[in-house]
Amino acid sequence: MPSFYTVTIDTEEEWDWDAGWPVGQHSILNLELMPDFYALCKAHGAKTTWFTNWSVMNQEQARSTIVEITANKDAELGMHIHPWLTPPITGKYDKARDSFLHNSPPEVIHDKLNSVWQVFTEHGCRPKTFRGGRYSCGPEVQKFLQHPDRKFIADASVVPYTTWADDGAPDYRDRDLQPNRLAPIEAGGSAMWEIPCTLAYTRNSMEFWADTFERIEHSFLRHFRLNGILSSTGIVQRVWLNFECTPAKEMIALLTFLEKINIPCVTLTLHSSSLMNGGNPYSHSQKSVDQINECVAEVLAWLANNNSYTPVTIAELAEQLEKQYQEQQVPTGAQA
């Protein structure tokens, strides 16, 4: 059975990520470039989900651009949040821990999510899918999303086999590539699917290799650069389907491997600011931007010519997974 693939774009302001988390002025000029990127994806038959934050939705021209793109059937408007820029601003955000929404008190989580939700609904938009800024999510966030008033059906925040060195970062080291269904929390609320980003290893068992890479990284063996040797010799590679930081050749190698082991879905991703010269550290020059676009074109062309992968948006993927789940709940011999 074909696997599904989806392209996701964290649609947000540009800034120097190495300079902290800005709570004041910010630029969203990169939105002017998004119609061209949408056209590139469309030319290869890819479907796109645009996880869009408060900064974009709160600015008329940027909002108009993204709403126009996602009015197309092959594009979807999802919700994204940067807590350091989302009202109410409750602090300086000078610590990494504060940049992860799940570390905030429940009332702050609710108020910030509600601010983003309201700026969507005030302009006639009701997103059904979500990705947390810095991949942050958690029970309080999901409680807000699954509420009967909102009924989100997908959270795309999980990055498998991964955590970060920052204090308070999400820890997804026990998560794999399989989507996970969250049952409704209360009557009238929605079931929601956790759709993982695709970060994986090019050899089974992935759990073994994830543990091996981490053990090496946190032992004296890191001085021998064994993880790099494992990758460079082709024994096993750790690959993220992220157009900003992974060469097309490696992404295609992972897609080829995942095709063989029947992974149900893959998620490719990047940030909108990476498509603008100087938009973030990944796009520090026009050459960097050109390389990202070339990577996108090469990978999407490969997918377009591969019958093992079918394009979907994140919402379409969640709907397909829920349909399959419900069909499996029907007892054998029951009437259709």
- Tell me what the mean pLDDT of segment 171-184 comes to: 97
What are 234's two structure tokens? 């082709």
Distance CA 41, CA 75 (A): 10
What number of residues does the chain have? 336
Q: What is the reported pTM? A: 0.94
Range name among 43-47, 244-248, 267-271, 327-331 with the lowest pLDDT average: 327-331
Q: How far apart are CA 48 and CA 56, in angstroms?
A: 17
Peptide bond into 311 cis (omega under 30): no
Looking at the predicted structure, is the pLDDT value of residue 237 above 70?
A: yes
pLDDT above 50 (res 46): yes
CATH superfamily of 3-200+238-329: Glycoside hydrolase/deacetylase (3.20.20.370)
Task: Grade residue 91 by pLDDT with cuts at 50, 70 and 90.
Answer: confident
Q: Where are the domains of the chain?
A: 3-200+238-329, 203-236
> Tokens in use for 284?
């520090």
Per-residue confidence (pLDDT) for residue 223, from 0 to 100: 40
- Omega of the bond prior to 205 within 30 degrees of 0, cis? yes
Span 105-150, pLDDT tens digits: 999 999 999 999 999 999 999 999 999 999 999 999 999 999 999 9
Q: Give the closest residue to 28 by CA, choosing from 14, 11, 15, 10.
A: 14
Q: What is the Cα 295 distance to its own chain's centre?
A: 18
Share of the chain above pLDDT 90, in %: 81
Residue 271, classed as helix, strand or coil, is strand
CA–CA distance, 167 with 333 (Å, rounded to integer): 52
What single-letter DSSP state applies at residue 282? G
**Between 317 and 23, residue with greater pLDDT:** 317
